[in-house]
Amino acid sequence: ANAISSNTTESNKQYGASSEKMAAAYAAFANGGIYHKPMYINKVVFSDGSEKEFSDAGTRAMKETTAYMMTEMMKTVLAYGTGRGAYLPWLAQAGKTGTSNYTDDEIEKHIKNTGYVAPDETFVGYTRK
């Protein structure tokens, strides 16, 4: 997948999953297999003091054992693999690195439009803290 738009909420065939959707998907591993829809607001306090809370009970996306196994595998990415630069030995964490396949034309167009080189490496990780 191409990560030019990875900082958006948009997902499509050209760009793959957005960073928001990747974070929500990986959070399901940390949440024991429960997926929660991303939310930006969890409570509104009105001028009269009344409150409106928003929550998402979540839905089971995978077995708890599957989430555990995925987390255990992704711990090694940080401890021994390509995510070593993000490894903090005192914090239980898991994650996955990835790269994008840009064509030369896509890179040139991106540099021309933004003034900087497109990112070619990504990291998605999580901790229970």
CATH of the structural domain 19-127, one choice from 3.10.20.30, 3.40.50.920, 3.40.710.10, 3.40.50.720: 3.40.710.10
Tell me how far CA of residue 27 lies from CA of 50, 61, 106, 107, 113, in angstroms. Answer: 31, 11, 31, 31, 33
Contact 24, 38 (CB under 8 A): yes
**pLDDT tens sequence across 89-124:** 899 899 988 767 777 788 788 778 887 766 667 778
**pLDDT tens sequence across 32-65:** 999 999 888 889 999 999 999 998 899 999 999 9
Per-residue pLDDT, 71: 94
Cβ neighbors of 127 (< 8 A, separation 6 or more) are 30, 91, 92, 93, 94
Q: Is the pLDDT of residue 1 over 70?
A: no
Tokens at residue 44, please?
Answer: 């509104």
**pLDDT tens sequence across 68-95:** 999 999 999 989 988 888 889 899 899 9
* Phi and psi torsions of 83, nearest 5°: -100, 15
